[in-house]
């Protein structure tokens, strides 16, 4: 059984090693912003209707040795990307707007090029958006658009931190940190305020345009409010809002700056205000630009289940009785077969598949912190990763004389298959040459050779969530 479990883990690691690749596509958009986009299959990248000419772009991806990417434009091979981790620049002869671009994953490690078809990424850039940018021009003719400066600063920080989109927001790999970005009016940048994840660190970035002509610029701060809230806020922020202060109106902007604030780690809801302070030399005005709440989703470290197991550990009963043939006393042995056991078990959500993958990949690991020793149902473990270590005790017989340990595989929420071992205290009768019901055994010999010992044998079965079991049987 040990070999079977080990083989299953190796197979799952092999499957996991073929997880889809992450391809970053970069280009200069219609607003002059440098964008870095994590590509997904059948993605459509929206651009301004006036944006017709795009030839230069970049590709980057972390690849295993012997693997490469093949770039095709409208079905024709354009170039191969073979240098893992490098941001490689390309320039097409004609515009790539409205053309289908395929990024194919190929494996040549065996000496033969084989396409990994499940990793195919197809995307298009389509000019379908109306421009909503109000351009402000500096006196020297250069673009002073506040929104453009803020967007450029955001992209710079995004790339520098190596952020990736997750259900919980912009996650910084290799850390427990999630980043939220807001502009000078309190509007969210890059994503809406996401569902929270307990125990994460949240860093707030406020990016604002500034002018060197303003001797008393607006100052920004964050006021964190603790506790949970019943009402939820609208996080979509589709309408651009203005705060209660004059945000350097009529001035030209030189650049964008950033203020960073660390919120306290929490397991319940995090709420905070974005505050702007303006000092005109005579009065100090404060305005709350916006209030936000990060609704936390729980992280679970384990579960309690009721196990219905079949064990190969035999615990016979021995009794000294008169022989049916009348030739003296013999020992009768009963209950010498496998049996069913009811157990109470605890599973710890530390998947060996995930942990081994994390250890093998080292610094290149992309496993988020909340998946290493816990799980969250918003971004749960993949089906083949749901193997968890389990410990339990028997409740249908002597509790602290029957222990169970092994692994369970979750088939569905609340239903698991268990395979492992039963370590228990059993009765023994170790008289040399003994045969039950045949060998003559005196009462003195019976008491001498009768004993107990601890043994280990295999056990398999199913586990049901304790609450489901309780409801099923009306306990």
Listed residues 249, 281, 298: the one ending a domain? 298
Secondary structure of residue 55 in the 3-state scheme: coil
Tally of structural domains, the chain: 3
Task: Say yes or no: 244 and 320 in one domain.
Answer: no
Distances 188 to 28, 82, 205, 345 between C-alpha atoms, Å: 22, 37, 10, 45
- 182 vs 281, which has greater pLDDT? 182
Q: Does the residue 7 lie in any domain? A: no
Burial bucket for residue 450 (CB in 10 Å: 0-12, 13-18, 19+): middle
Q: Does the residue 4 lie in any domain? A: no
Task: Say yes or no: 293 and 346 in one domain.
Answer: no
How far is Cα 78 from Cα 102, in angstroms, rounded to an integer? 10
Residue 286 dihedral angles phi and psi, to the nearest 5°: -120, 140
Tens digits of per-residue pLDDT, 100-132? Answer: 999 999 999 888 999 998 889 998 888 764 433
Q: How sure is the predictor about 226, in pLDDT bands with cuts at 50, 70 and 90?
A: low
Task: Say yes or no: 241 and 310 in one domain.
Answer: no
How far is Cα 292 from Cα 194, in angstroms, rounded to an integer? 10
Burial bucket for residue 230 (CB in 10 Å: 0-12, 13-18, 19+): exposed
CB-based contact 178:197 (threshold 8 Å): yes
Closest to 388 measured CA to CA, from 416, 422, 361? 416
Task: Say yes or no: 195 and 115 in one domain.
Answer: no
Task: Say yes or no: 119 and 144 in one domain.
Answer: no
Q: How sure is the predictor about 456, in pLDDT bands with cuts at 50, 70 and 90?
A: very high
How far is Cα 159 from Cα 36, in angstroms, rounded to an integer? 7
Q: Does the residue 5 lie in any domain? A: no
Task: Say yes or no: 312 and 454 in one domain.
Answer: yes
Task: Say yes or no: 293 and 145 in one domain.
Answer: yes
What is this structure's pTM?
Answer: 0.56
Average pLDDT over the chain, rounded to whole? 79
181 torsion bin: left (phi>0), alpha (psi -120 to 50), beta (else): beta
Task: Say yes or no: 100 and 142 in one domain.
Answer: no
Task: Say yes or no: 460 and 322 in one domain.
Answer: yes
Partners of 262 in the β-ladder: 203
Task: Say yes or no: 306 and 439 in one domain.
Answer: yes
Q: Does the residue 71 lie in any domain? A: yes
Secondary structure of residue 184 in the 3-state scheme: coil
Tens digits of per-residue pLDDT, 395-433? Answer: 877 778 899 999 999 998 888 999 999 999 999 998 998
E strands in 82-162: 88-91, 101-107, 114-115, 121-129
How far is Cα 464 from Cα 63, in angstroms, rounded to an integer? 41
Q: Does the residue 15 lie in any domain? A: no
Q: Which of 40-44, 252-256, 315-319 is predicted least confidently?
A: 252-256
Element (H, E) at 160: helix 146-161
Task: Say yes or no: 311 and 416 in one domain.
Answer: yes
Rounded (5°) CA angle 141-146-149: 85
Q: Which residues constitute the domain of residue 287? A: 133-298
Distances 122 to 31, 41, 44, 55, 155 between C-alpha atoms, Å: 24, 5, 9, 17, 23
Listed residues 116, 131, 146: the one ending a domain? 131
Q: Does the residue 363 lie in any domain? A: yes
CA–chain centroid gap for 202, Å, is: 16
Listed residues 77, 97, 131: the one ending a domain? 131
For the chain, what is the radius of gyration of the CA atoms? 33
| Largest Cα–Cα separation, the chain | 121
Q: Does the residue 1 lie in any domain? A: no
Q: Does the residue 8 lie in any domain? A: no
CB-based contact 208:274 (threshold 8 Å): no
Task: Say yes or no: 125 and 207 in one domain.
Answer: no
| CATH number of the domain encompassing residue 94 | 2.60.40
**Residue 136 has what DSSP assignment?**
-
Q: Which of 79-93, 171-185, 240-254, 399-413 is predicted least confidently?
A: 240-254
């Amino acid at each position: 059984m040990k070999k079977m479990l080990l083989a299953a883990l190796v197979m799952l690691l092999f499957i996991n090693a073929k997880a889809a690749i992450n391809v970053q596509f970069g280009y200069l958009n219609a607003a002059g912003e440098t964008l870095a986009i994590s590509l997904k299959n059948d993605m459509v990248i929206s651009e301004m209707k006036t944006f017709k000419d795009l030839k230069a772009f970049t590709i980057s991806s972390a690849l295993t040795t012997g693997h490469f990417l093949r770039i095709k434009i409208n079905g024709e091979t354009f170039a191969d990307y073979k240098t893992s981790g490098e941001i490689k620049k390309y320039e097409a002869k004609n515009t790539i707007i409205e053309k289908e671009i395929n990024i194919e994953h190929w494996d040549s490690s065996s000496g033969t090029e084989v396409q990994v078809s499940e990793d195919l990424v197809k995307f298009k850039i389509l000019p379908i958006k109306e421009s909503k940018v109000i351009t402000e021009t500096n006196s020297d003719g250069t673009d002073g658009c506040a929104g453009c400066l803020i967007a450029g600063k955001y992209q710079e920080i995004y790339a520098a931190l190596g952020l990736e989109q997750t259900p919980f927001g912009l996650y910084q790999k290799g850390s427990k940190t999630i980043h939220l970005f807001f502009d000078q009016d309190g509007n969210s940048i890059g994503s809406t305020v996401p569902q929270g994840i307990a125990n994460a660190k949240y860093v707030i970035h406020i990016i604002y345009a500034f002018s060197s002509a303003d001797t008393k610029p607006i100052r920004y701060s964050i006021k964190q409010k603790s506790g949970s809230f019943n009402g939820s806020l609208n996080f979509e922020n589709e309408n651009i809002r203005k705060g209660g202060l004059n945000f350097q109106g009529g001035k030209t902007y030189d650049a964008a700056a950033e203020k960073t604030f660390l919120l306290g780690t929490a397991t319940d809801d995090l709420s905070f205000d974005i505050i702007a302070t303006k000092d005109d030399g005579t009065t100090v005005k404060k305005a709350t630009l916006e209030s936000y709440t990060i609704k936390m989703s729980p992280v679970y470290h384990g579960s309690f289940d009721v196990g219905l197991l079949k064990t190969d550990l035999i615990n016979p009963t021995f009794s000294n009785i008169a022989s049916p043939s009348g030739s003296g006393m013999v020992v009768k042995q009963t209950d010498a077969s496998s049996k069913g056991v009811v157990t109470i078990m605890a599973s710890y959500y530390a998947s060996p598949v995930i942990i081994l993958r994390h250890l093998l990949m080292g610094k290149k690991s992309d496993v988020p912190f909340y998946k290493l020793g816990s799980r969250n149902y918003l971004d749960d473990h993949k089906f083949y990763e749901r193997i968890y270590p389990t410990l339990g005790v028997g409740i249908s017989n002597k509790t602290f004389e029957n222990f169970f340990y092994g692994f369970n595989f979750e088939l569905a929420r609340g239903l698991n298959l268990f395979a492992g071992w039963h370590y228990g205290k059993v009765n023994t009768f170790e008289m040399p040459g003994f045969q039950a019901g045949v060998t003559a055994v005196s009462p003195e010999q019976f008491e001498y050779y009768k004993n107990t010992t601890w043994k280990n044998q295999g056990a398999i079965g199913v586990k049901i969530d304790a609450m489901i079991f309780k409801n099923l049987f009306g306990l």
